[in-house]
Amino acid sequence: MAWTTRSSKLLRVLGWVVPTLASLMMPSALAQDLPIVVSPARVKRQIIVSVPDRKLVVMEKGAALRVFQVAVGADASPSPGGAFEIVSRLTEPTYYHAGVVIPPGDDNPLGPRWVGLNKKGYGIHGTNAPKSIGQAASHGCIRLRNRDIVQFFAMVSVGDTVEIHADRDEQITEIFGGDAGEATAVAQAGPTSTGVAGGQ
């Protein structure tokens, strides 16, 4: 009697499971019921840095999405001019330099985010020296305030392009305003800081 009861329960369960499995194994039925969702490819963004203006802009399809104030390379260690590409993105990076290792935190010269370029050792990052923003103060990297690097980090992806302009040209003038050469003259006349410890 007990065997019969168990058998009937097992048959009832199998009577539900087998048809259910069979329906899941029919791709043509599923294809008719479920829509195919294709995520659109993200448009590559362009990051343009004006060394004389101490500014960075994130562009998409020719439109400026956001402008950030930055620190650029000091006179002794200028930011490299040219066209680059983002190759890495790190959250809470560890700083390594000449036998010095600084873990993530308030003392880290890279701040809370690192966006690495395809020029070894150079990137866009936060800072533990917020007063350096707007100055020629880094070892060549582009620094943002920590709150700004978090926003910037969320806006960019690996493969986005980065242009660093050492001088004002027509493109920079069009984006940031003013006259070509104006910001360069101001930058040369103004004070710069070259002694910020630690940061890139």
H runs (alpha helix) in 115-169: 146-155
Q: What is the Cα 86 distance to its own chain's centre?
A: 8
Give the domain extent around 18.
2-33
Residues 91 and 175 in one domain: yes
Residues 105 and 14 in one domain: no
pTM: 0.71
Q: Which residue in the list 97, 125, 139, 165 is annotated as catalytic?
A: 125
Check residue 41 and give its pLDDT: 75
Both structure tokens of 32: 């008719």
Cα(138)–Cα(143) distance, rounded to whole angstroms? 7
Residue range 68-97: mean pLDDT, rounded: 96
Pairing of strands 136-138, 161-165: unpaired
Cα(180)–Cα(185) distance, rounded to whole angstroms? 10
- Of 111, 92, 89, 108, the C-alpha closest to 100 is 108
Residues 175 and 101 in one domain: yes
Q: What is the pLDDT of residues 21-55, one digit of tens each?
A: 444 454 544 445 556 666 677 789 999 999 999 99
Place 5 in a pLDDT band, splitting at 50, 70 and 90. Answer: low
C-alpha Rg value of the chain to the nearest Å: 27
Q: What is the pLDDT of residues 124-146, one digit of tens each?
A: 999 999 999 999 999 999 999 99
Cα(135)–Cα(179) distance, rounded to whole angstroms? 20
Would you call 141 a catalytic residue per the annotation? yes
Window from 12-16, 102-106, 150-154, 172-176 with minimum mean pLDDT? 12-16
Check residue 190 and give its pLDDT: 38
Q: What is the pLDDT of residues 141-200, one digit of tens each?
A: 999 999 999 999 999 999 999 999 999 999 899 989 876 554 443 344 333 332 223 346
Residues 71 and 102 in one domain: yes
The residue written with tokens 């700004």 in the block is: 148
Residues 56 and 135 in one domain: yes
